[in-house]
Chain A
Amino acid sequence: MNSTSVANEANYLKYKGKYKGLLGWIFSTDHKRIGLLYLYSMAIMFSVGVLLGLAMKLELLAPGKTIMEAQTYNATFTVHGVIMIFMVVVPGLPAVFGNFLLPIMIGAKDVAFPKLNLLSWWFYVAGVFLVLSAILFGSGTPDTGWTFYAPYSFKSGTNLLPAIFGAFILGFSSILTGLNFLVTIHRLRCPGLKWTKLPLFVWTLYGTAWIQLLATPVVGITLVLVALERIFGVGVFDPALGGDPILYQHLFWIYSHPAVYIMILPAMGAISEIIPTFSQKHIFGYKAIIASTMAIAFVGYLVWGHHMFTAGMSGTAQYYFSLLTFLVAIPSAIKVFNWISTMYKGSINIQTPFYWAVSFIFVFMIGGLSGLVLGALAANIYVHDTAFVVAHFHYIVFGGTGFAFFAAIHYWFPKIFGRMYDKTWANTGWLIFFIGFVTLYSPMFYLGMMGMPRRYYDYLQEFHGGNILSTIGSWILVTGFVIIIVNLVRSASKGPKAEMNPWHGKTLEWTVPSPPPLENFDEIPVIEENDGPYNYK
């Protein structure tokens, strides 16, 4: 016990380990430092992704060539996709907030395997550099789209191998994080913290970790096969040698659809923490949220075929995948119902995280309902591969996961940095970002319905109006993004000191100082019979 109290004199941002300075961070096995390492790496990659997106929108400002050639445009959307999917939204909330908060929320000193946790981050960085090397060196930037569809992924003359191996290693990082979280949640809950008393964010991390563990190896081996196809020509996906490219699509989506739930489940978890705190009311339907979380994790595994309705599939399979796609919408709707009901008759305290959370519900509903349009067989054929699809998944992935990420960073910021941000600027940033988001993506629903295809750098004259509006939206969104980032970065060092529990939350992270000490707790907390993560009066 003696050594603990010595360690806990300094908070985790300040303590000195074996190494000093930067080395003290990149070799630290402390879960909170690793969480921040992920946060910084992801913020960089996200900014790169945003710039690429901005460039694409600028290209689409007018028909024909505006700022780039078709080939450059193809490379741009490929790199934008690979960065945003594999480096930002898939690791996203689990890697940053899961790492930082999971051990604290369950009353533990660290995750079960701290060294493995650091290794995950190193894998992440290695993956990032591999992918970036594909852009900077070799025979051209990859142009296949982030899906690396066969047979083009082994016919394209661009420098795809490093990108594929990079994605493979990023997957490995994701598997190790998932494995670590599963063992942590099973083994390290503090005394009295029963499964029915776990905060919902922990529950969603648990569901996510299972998907990470069980789905990622599938895409891992599939990407290895594509690489082998490129190097040796083994024939598995090459129609010229008897292979079947459609099989590639199946294997790819067996992972990549569950990956959508890797992105959204922890986002839902964060929202399930924020809404009760700012309503000062017990979450409505605690067990229903848990059940729907696990249902999403399970059913989400079985719906991959809806990405391939036009690729060639038997009618029976199409009905089956369409039906299951509709089914998976139900647990998501249950959650929305629960969040709204939690607010009902609560004493609502309107703060920045709450704005983000309610706007999350708004955009998530639009994204979810447009997903049903795509899940319906007939409608899917009509809007397949149009801007409608792009609008749908940006509403879900950017609007869902992205908004929840911003909600989470504004919610836990005082805990992570021990300082409070400027609330006026934070709210202004949110408002501008929200307006920009809606202006950017809403016209794409319309454009898609009118028949504008995705992945083209050019379009017909009649789509001009909608595209101008969308491009202007991208500028508004970036303005909001810059305001948010500047405000947060400034406040991390200059903001006023934050209290231990500024939002009056009930989960365990609010019982430790801000920022938390090295090993979180001087003594492992004990949860009494009447305690609970949402026991507000």
Chain B
Amino acid sequence: MTNMLQSRWWSWGFRSTVMLYFIILIVCPIAGIYVQSLSGGFQAFADNVTEALAWKSVILTVKLAVISTIINAAVGTLAAWVLVRYRFPGRSLLNSLVDLPFALPTAVIGLMILLLLGPRSWIGSGAEALGTTILFHEPAIVVAMIFVTFPFVIRAVQPMLEELDASEEEAAYTMGASKSRTFFRVILPCMMPGIVSGAMLAFSRALAEFGAVVLVAGNIPGRTLVASVYIFGEIESDNPAGAAAVSVLLLTLSLLILWTVNFVRRRRAR
């Protein structure tokens, strides 16, 4: 009897500890930031968000994230296709390398791009000879975003291609469809859910990226200042309300994307 009672106490203790940890660590901070941003009333929140520099940084972030996502969707689909369909020496090495951007610290990624595109490198001096600069301008931010979000589309498309039934493709060929027609009518629709969900995850990560971008962006307010760096600047200059307002905007956007991806995946699983 005492034994049973003891074990019940134990399991009750475990349960409440885990639930408390979950609530304090995850739920409280996120609720806190929403409360903080709206604590001055909705008008103050709207003022903080529509403040010229804040709004420009959000628009810039969305624009550059869209560009990098489109590039990654194209490159990622190609890479996934090659990695799944072709057998060639070095394939497994390339496949392992895909995860590299997830494993590397973002500050290290920023430093790499800084060195590669800097004025002393051949890419930087080449661009200078052409009359443009990459580093501390928009292209450098896009490169940083592409690097950081590189694995998402590949990792989302690969399983779809592996699942694809070879007989469907063969049937299309047998019925006289050309290679390109088979690709666009049979294979691409099959990859589409993977491309879309991978691209959405990549987009939300690109919106949130800080470490890689802060080192290469130059952070000129209104021109190369992205939202996450803007938030950091507001914290540093002791304006938590402004930081919280832009955070809530970014956060809500990311949450919507994340939940849409989960919803789509769950429906597919059914």
A and B interact: no
Q: Please list the residues of chain B having a beta carbon within 8 angstroms of any beta carbon in chain A.
A: none
